[in-house]
Amino acid sequence: MPDASLAPSLRSRWPLIGHLPRLHRDALAYLREAELEFGPVFWLDMGFNSVVLLVMGEQGFEVFRDKNLDSSNLHADYSTFLGESMLTTDGPDHRRMRGASGAAFTPSGLGRAQVGELIAETITRKLRSWDGRDELAILPETKAIALEVIFRMLGVEVHDLPQWSRWYGEYLWGAINLPIKFPGSPAWRASRARRWLEKRVLAIIEATRERGERDSIVGAMVHGRDEAGAGMSDRELIDNLLILGLAGHETTASTMAWAMLHLASAPKRWAQLVDEAMAMDEVPSDWRELGKRAPFAVGVFRESLRHYPPVSIDSRRCHTPTELGGYAIRPGQTVGTSLLHMSRDPAVYDDPDAWRPERWLEIDRKPTPVENCQFGGGAHFCLGYHMALLEGTLFLVHVARHLADAGRQPTRLGPLPKPIYLPLTHPPADASLRL
């Protein structure tokens, strides 16, 4: 079996920033061109000395399953941003943290914490600000909803939300892997914001512990224990709660925005969503009931997520010799896969570039791990899976009911915008709808 160093490398890399400009411009087209020219395995330069052996297609899903790979590359490249969270740890520490917090994010845990009610109240209140507006940029709207949901789950008071939003926006600069730090640089801004957030998240943790609160998301994580009775340290709680903001804010918000942009140019599908939403006397806040009563809304959210997975490329670092994609991988080498490419794989999806929410109604089984790849896989499968589906579906149902009650529907201004792929896939901030 050939050594991974012998795999082909993509050409035309820029000094220092590698292939990032091409990925930023059109990651899907670039990766498809590379696969046609070099086959399903090739080296990709992600910039700043981060070179990844990319394995395309379903075989790339083994990146998540191979126990000879770990997340140490994420810790090395994004330590300010990701800290000691579940995203950067593996083995016993990861299992302990996940075991201690997993119950909070099950449908039952979300129900005990009344997360569905909180999401619905936030959405309906925010939708009232759409009244009387003929045009709106959709991404800022969905980000405002998703961020408020996360902060309120943490116990942040509504009057403090603008300040938290400002500092969390600064913290997100840490998602840019620029390994130099000077006043005003992304790393500097992220570090400064992290200090502000850490102090306040710790205060929330301490207050939750003192009250003995267990039903809220924070309470369930603070008091949670794994099977051996071990919980999380304050450091681990802080880092995981901060990452909860990323997972429940940036990713969900962009998917909700894409859903609205597609619905705005699909009047028949909008009508189908409205019919489904208006058929409910009341909208369930429990995911198990909502998923049964709003299957088309679930399909709209899933299809939008499939088209635009927020994390387009995910990777792991080898710590023990292994084999993947027909190559021998050595310790220290980084192996990755494209969730974006996997989500548009014609071997998995019929007409993969078509936005067809009904495809999810045509299957009578749970989605396969590959079909759920947008949430990751293996031990690191997204803990917030049910929460994302709950929030995205509630958003679509309440938007449909609110606009239908007012005799309005969304239409798009101009063609569907091109995605921005880095650091996370999202529509342009000025992508607008007419109501």
Q: pTM of this prediction? A: 0.95
How far is Cα 252 from Cα 234, in angstroms, rounded to an integer? 26
- Looking from the CA of 201 toward its CB, the CA atoms found within 13 Å total 27
Helix axes 252-263, 385-405, angle to 10 degrees: 40
- Looking from the CA of 107 toward its CB, the CA atoms found within 13 Å total 10
Map out the domains of the chain as residue ranges: 4-434
Candidates 240, 332, 315; CA nearest to 4 is 332
Structure confidence by residue, pLDDT tens digits, 5-27: 999 999 889 998 999 999 999 99
Average pLDDT, stretch 161-189?
A: 84
At 414, the amino acid letter reads G
Structure-token match 């929030």, residue found? 391
Q: What residues contact residue 106 under an 8 Å CB cut-off, 6+ apart?
A: 386
Among the four given CATH numbers 3.40.1190.20, 1.10.630.10, 3.40.50.1970, 1.10.3720.10, the one describing domain 4-434 = 1.10.630.10
H-type alpha helices, 247-311: 252-263, 267-278, 287-293, 295-307
Let me know: does 21 contact 14? Beta carbons within 8 Å.
yes
How far is Cα 234 from Cα 240, in angstroms, rounded to an integer? 10
Structure confidence by residue, pLDDT tens digits, 186-231: 889 999 999 999 999 999 999 999 999 999 999 999 999 999 999 9
Average pLDDT, stretch 75-94?
A: 88
Residues in the chain: 435
Structure-token match 């919980």, residue found? 231
